[in-house]
Amino acid sequence: MTYLVTGGAGYIGAHVVRAMVRAGERVVVLDDLSTGLRQRLPSDVPLVEASVLDRAALDRVIAEHGVTGVVHLAAKKRVGESVEVPLRYYHENVHGLQVLLEAVVAGGVGAFVFSSSASVYGMPDGETVTEDTPCAPMSPYGETKLAGEWLVRATARAHGLRTTCLRYFNVAGAAAPELADTGVANLVPMAFERLADGAAPRIFGDDYPTPDGTCVRDYIHVADLADAHLAAARALASGQVRPGADLTVNIGRGEGVSVREMMDVVAEVTGREFTPEVTARRPGDPARVVARADRAARELGWTARRDVREMVASAWAGWPRRDPAPVA
């Protein structure tokens, strides 16, 4: 198999590429480098600098590299931003996926792993969510991920693709310092950025119906997430998923951690004492979303191995600004 990894120079994508290469898989990356970094990639992995909206580039890379499977990670992913600019999110995340799938079908590619999100669930009832929990996304970002799943499954049925949709929960950590998340779309780097500026990290709302009033999430180490992609790709390659069928799985730890609890871990790991600044809720944030990951263990033979402290410590080891001013 030769895999095309879209968005492979991004934070998550680079971890997926490294896991697949170390496992002996052949990989080519397509990334427009809008948020990705070329230096995250191994020197022997080909990089095509292009967007998934560029059909000609997709056709070329599939043909020239003999691509037989795709791992699709390229997408816009900020919940709050998606509320402000929904048209951009639908164009990039849904239309971009459509263009990619058209190239996949035309090129005879047989396997497709789709990067989805727990945001498809919205604000579910119950302590944990299964893959059968009704989906009711609360943001345009979540809507684009759910629409993406629909499009992937419909294409699989119509054209005989073997597909897997991975619903990520909250990603953190780094497998190596050079692969750390240097953006500020996720909670941990957002906290680090505030500390680096000499300010207290923010909590967006403390009046949710949770034990401490802050949002509760299921955090997954990015290295565990990368291993899940490898397991999914191999499940498709082995024929475990039949043509025209889809396997949808939650990728999480099954353990809820509140934002305030995560801030305590950040303070412990960084050695910086602070009292978080509580601000207004962000639009599109549900109170609690925690996975049931039984299906991933059963169908993919995958379970998360790393804990929250390891996530924060590994992220801090790769943070580029580690000498912040004292917190006010």
Residue 84 lies in a domain: yes
Give the number of domains in the chain.
Answer: 2
State the burial class of residue 185 (Cβ atoms within 10 Å of its Cβ: 0-12, 13-18, 19+). middle
What DSSP assignment string belongs to 8-40? Answer: TTSHHHHHHHHHHHHTT-EEEEEE--SS--GGG
List C-alpha distances in Å: 243 to 21, 98, 105. 25, 19, 13
Co-location of 80 and 47 in the same domain: yes
Task: Report the C-alpha gap between 131 and 116 in whole angstroms.
Answer: 12
Answer yes or no: are the C-beta atoms of 112 and 241 closer than 8 Å.
no
Co-location of 270 and 164 in the same domain: no
- The two three-digit tokens of residue 109, written as one number: 């590619």
Query: Annotated catalytic residue: which of 121, 141, 168, 219?
Result: 141
Co-location of 42 and 144 in the same domain: yes
Co-location of 107 and 189 in the same domain: no
The CATH number of residue 37's host domain is 3.40.50.720
Residue 271 lies in a domain: yes
The CATH number of residue 257's host domain is 3.90.25.10
Residue 328 lies in a domain: no
pLDDT for position 203: 97
User: Closest Cα to residue 246, out of 134, 307, 155?
Assistant: 155
Instruction: Encode 215-259 in three state secondary structure.
Output: CEEEEEEHHHHHHHHHHHHHHHHCCCCCCCCEEEEEECCCCEEEH
Residue 29 lies in a domain: yes
pTM: 0.93
Instruction: Encode 197-211 in three state secondary structure.
Output: CCCCCEEECCCCCCC
| Cα 249 to the center of its chain, rounded Å | 13
Residue 282 lies in a domain: yes
Answer yes or no: are the C-beta atoms of 263 and 309 closer than 8 Å.
no
pLDDT profile of the chain (328 residues), mean per 10? 97 97 98 95 97 98 98 93 95 98 98 96 90 95 97 97 96 94 85 93 95 96 98 95 93 96 96 95 87 95 96 94 55
- The two three-digit tokens of residue 139, written as one number: 């943001």
- The two three-digit tokens of residue 174, written as one number: 């780094």
Residue 323 lies in a domain: no
pLDDT for position 191: 95
Co-location of 132 and 110 in the same domain: yes
Task: Report the C-alpha gap between 285 and 216 in whole angstroms.
Answer: 10
Co-location of 50 and 185 in the same domain: no
Instruction: Encode 107-153 in three state secondary structure.
Output: CCCCEEEEEEEHHHHCCCCCCCECCCCCCCCCCHHHHHHHHHHHHHH
Residue 326 lies in a domain: no
Co-location of 73 and 161 in the same domain: yes
pLDDT for position 322: 56
Element (H, E) at 261: helix 259-270
Residue 200 lies in a domain: yes
Co-location of 191 and 275 in the same domain: yes
Co-location of 11 and 141 in the same domain: yes
Co-location of 144 and 197 in the same domain: no
pLDDT for position 109: 98
Co-location of 97 and 228 in the same domain: yes
Co-location of 113 and 145 in the same domain: yes
* Structural domain containing residue 237: 2-171+221-251
pLDDT for position 323: 59
Active site residue 219: no
Q: In the beta sheet, which residues pair with residue 167?
A: 116, 250
